[in-house]
Amino acid sequence: MADHRFRPVSGEKPCCDISKKAQICLCVVFGLLVVVIIAVVVGIVMWRQPPQHREWKGAGTTAHFYEIILGRCYTYTQIVRPELGHKDCQKIGKAFTNAFLSKDPCSSTEQDYQPLMELTNQTVPCDKTLLWSKTNELVHEYAWVQREFFTLENTLLGYMADGLRWCGDPGSPEMNYQSCPDRRTDCSNNSVSVFWNTVSKRFAEDACGVVHVLLNGSVHNSFDERSTFARVEVFNLHPEKVHTLQAWVMQDIRNISSDSCSDASIKNLKLILSKRNITFTCENNYRPIRFLQCVKYPEHSSCRSKI
């Protein structure tokens, strides 16, 4: 029978040997270490996460926006209108994005777009400006066939931006691909709307001679006071340069009604223009564009028996 008491070997239970004070110290240091590690991990995770953009009600920036505008710039200046081959597309692309990156997309101004406007200045020959309202498809089909006419979308800047959406965010150097402000439900001074107002204004200011406008005779308000045509373009035509505005009012070929040129809204347009000293002329169903409509409905009676 062993009546010895074995002394515990000193290595087996180390903490028992360290003083209470040292134990506390160790625990604190250990705790701090854990906190530091957690903080570093969280920091890395947060840094890697893209900065959060504000959420808007409209669709976000078009995917590959920058590559698209750059590519379109080169296509336009090298192939569509090679007389503009001297334009610097790299500079133009940068000026475009600088207009809205890192800025509040609801506080866009004309000034934001000034550097871009200066780089993309373009002369449209007199009598060749073609405005439009509620005739998007038809007017561009016509301009494609009659290449001497220029709609805004046939100018360099219009061509680059057509159909695209873009916006930035004050807290971030990135474009917001998730959402962008909707004109009606978020704000009207958004990056895209301000762009089109700015370029439309210049397009109208630069026009000379006879200016044409393609209007839709099959909708309620052919001349709509809320449209860009009414709000911006009509009011920025210069009477010293533009002596006549000629309207072509096209009706849907399947539904030809009375004389659209005598509509109340068209009379309103005539009044506005006369106050500005610009002559107004109007033609119903302008024949060349009627042919264009007939391409879709070749068997229609008005496409068959028309002299």
Partner 1 sequence: MAYKGDKNCTAIWEAFKVVLDKDPCSVFPSDYDHFISLSRHSIPRDKSLFWENNHLLVTSYAENARRFMPLCDVLYGRIGDFLSWCRQENASGLDYQSCPTSEDCENNPVDSYWKMASMQYSRDSTGVIHVMLNGSEPKGAYPVKGFFADFEIPYLQKDKITRIEIWVMHEIGRPKVESCGEGSVKILEERLEKMGFQYRCINDHLPVKLLMCVDHSTHPDCALNSAVTSTRREAPPLCAEHGASLFIPFLVVLASVIQL
Residues at the contact surface with partner 1, assessed by CB under 8 A: 63-64, 67, 79, 141-142, 144-146, 287-289, 291-292, 294-296, 298, 303-307
Q: Of 89, 208, 261, 282, which residue is the catalytic one?
A: 208
* CB-nearer residue toward partner 1: 255 or 305: 305
Supply the minimum distance, in Å, between the C-beta of residue 74 and partner 1. Answer: 11
Q: Taking each helix axis from N to C terminus, what angle separates 89-98 and 65-75, rounded to the nearest 10 degrees?
A: 140
Give dist(CA 296, CA 298) in Å, integer. 6
What does DSSP say about strands 279-284 and 58-59: parallel, antiparallel, or unpaired?
Answer: unpaired
* CB-nearer residue toward partner 1: 241 or 306: 306
Supply the minimum distance, in Å, between the C-beta of residue 291 and partner 1. Answer: 5
What would the DSSP string read from start to end of 187-239?
-SS-HHHHHHHHHHHHHHHT--EEEEEEEETTSS-SS-TTSHIIIIIHHH--T
Q: Of 126, 187, 294, 303, which residue is the catalytic one?
A: 126
Supply the minimum distance, in Å, between the C-beta of residue 144 and partner 1. Answer: 6
- Known catalytic residue: 126? yes
Query: Residue 132: CB partners within 8 Å, gap ≥ 6?
Result: 139, 151, 213, 214, 215, 229
Q: Taking each helix axis from N to C terminus, what angle separates 136-145 and 287-296, rounded to the nearest 10 degrees?
A: 110
What does DSSP say about strands 242-250 and 179-180: parallel, antiparallel, or unpaired?
Answer: unpaired
* CB-nearer residue toward partner 1: 68 or 219: 68
* CB-nearer residue toward partner 1: 114 or 146: 146
Supply the minimum distance, in Å, between the C-beta of residue 38 and partner 1. Answer: 39
Supply the minimum distance, in Å, between the C-beta of residue 219 and partner 1. Answer: 21
Structure tokens at 71: 């590519």
Query: Residue 286: CB partners within 8 Å, gap ≥ 6?
Result: 248, 250
Whose tokens are 């709609």? That residue is 151
Give dist(CA 14, CA 17) in Å, integer. 5
* CB-nearer residue toward partner 1: 143 or 242: 143
- Active-site positions read 126, 208
